[in-house]
Homo-oligomer: A and B are copies of this chain.
Amino acid sequence: MANPTIKDVAKMANVSIATVSLVIHDHKRISRVTKQKVLEAIERLNYYPSRSARGLVSQKTGNIGFILTNDHFLRTEPFYTNIFIGTEFEARENELYVLLTTVDSNFKDSDPLPRFILERNVDGIIIAGKVPSILTEKLCDFNLPLIFVDFQPVKRNCPVVVVDNNLGGKMATNHLIEYGHKNIGFVGGDIDHPSISERYKGYTAAMEQAKLTLNKNFIDFVEDYPARTNGFQAASRLFKNNKDITAVFACNDAMALGIIDYLKDNGKRVPEDVSVIGFDDVVSENSNGPSLSTIRVPKMEMGVEAMKLMSSFLKEGINHNKKVLVPVELIIRNSTQKI
C-alpha cells in the first residue's frame, strides 16, 4: 500500500485505531496478544505515523529551528557551519530535525520573524552567534525554549553553550609568554562582542599575572567584523609605531592570517621575527603553508551540547538554565616560536 494510515493498521489487526495508537506509544494497558497483532500489522504494512497529523494533534513538530545572522551564515570559514552540523548530529539521536534559517544582521523591530516560528513549525530554537538584542527580545515572547550557542545575551537568562574564551585567551597569551615573548600585542574585533572581550580579558589577565606591562599601544580593536583584511589593517597600525612587538595574539584565526599577510608584505618573517597566534582553529585543515598556532574551539561539540540541552528540556521539561562551558585546547603549530 502506498501510504498506509493508522486505519489500515487497525483494520488489518482487527482493532480500533485507538489501540494502534496506544501500541505505538507503548502504553502499559495493552495485552501482549493485541500488541503483537498490531506490531505485526505495522510491520507488514510498513506503517509510519504521519508527522503532520501528529504535529497537529500533539502540537509537537519534531523540528528545532536554528538561527544565524546573514553575516555568520556567509562567512567562509566553517565555524557556525560546524556548530550547525553538531546540532544536526545530535538531533538525529533524538529523532529531531533542524530547520536552518538566517536573520538580517541588523534585524529591526519591523522585520518579520523566521517563518518557522510564525507557522509553529518548531518546538524550540537554537540561536548561534551574536544576534541583535531586539531579536532576542521578540523571540523570548514566544513560548518556545531558547538556547544560545557561542553567544550569551545580556540580561536574558537562557541556557547557553559557550567557549571558555577567557581561559583560551590566557592560554594563548601564556603560550607566547612561555616562549619568551614580552612585547605581546593583541588584535581584536568589536570589543562589545562577549567572546572577544573575554579573550581580551584573558590576555590582560595573563599579562598581569606574568608581571608584563600592558602597553596600550600594543592593543588594537577594529570596530568591524574580525576578518582577514581587518587583521591586516590592525597590524599595519600596530607595527607602524611599535617596532619592538615580537608576538601578537589575534582574537581569531582570520585576523591572525591578516596579520601574517601584513608582516610578509613588510619583510617580516613568521615566526622568526614575529610570532602570531589565533583563536578558533578554522584554518588548519586545508592549508598547505606554515600553519597557524591557535586555540582550538570544539565547534561540532558545541552544537551537540546545545541540542542536548534542547532535547533534554523537551523531554524532561527541566530548564536548568545551564551554562555549558566547552573546553578549549592550545594548538601549537608553526606560526609561533621561542624568542
Contact = CB atoms under 8 A, between A and B. Distances in A.
Contacts of A53: 56
Contact of A288 (B115, B257, B285): B257
A288 B286 contact: no
Interface in A259-308: 260-261, 282-283, 285-292
A253 interface: yes
Interface residues of A, number: 49
A180 interface: no
B49 A119 contact: yes
Contacts of A253: 286
Contacts of A49: 119
B289 A76 contact: no
Contact of A77 (B118, B286, B288, B292): B286
Contact of A286 (B48, B92, B287): B287
A260 to B, nearest CB: 6
B56 A52 contact: yes
Contacts of A292: 288
Given A77-B286, A78-B81, A288-B290, 8 more contacts: A48-B119, A55-B56, A56-B56, A97-B100, A97-B101, A254-B286, A287-B289, A289-B289
Interface of A: 2-3, 48-53, 55-56, 61-62, 73, 76-78, 81, 85, 88, 92, 95, 97-102, 115-116, 118-121, 143, 253-254, 257, 260-261, 282-283, 285-292
Q: Which 9 A-B pairs have the closest CB atoms?
A: A289-B289, A52-B55, A48-B118, A51-B121, A51-B119, A52-B56, A287-B287, A76-B285, A288-B289
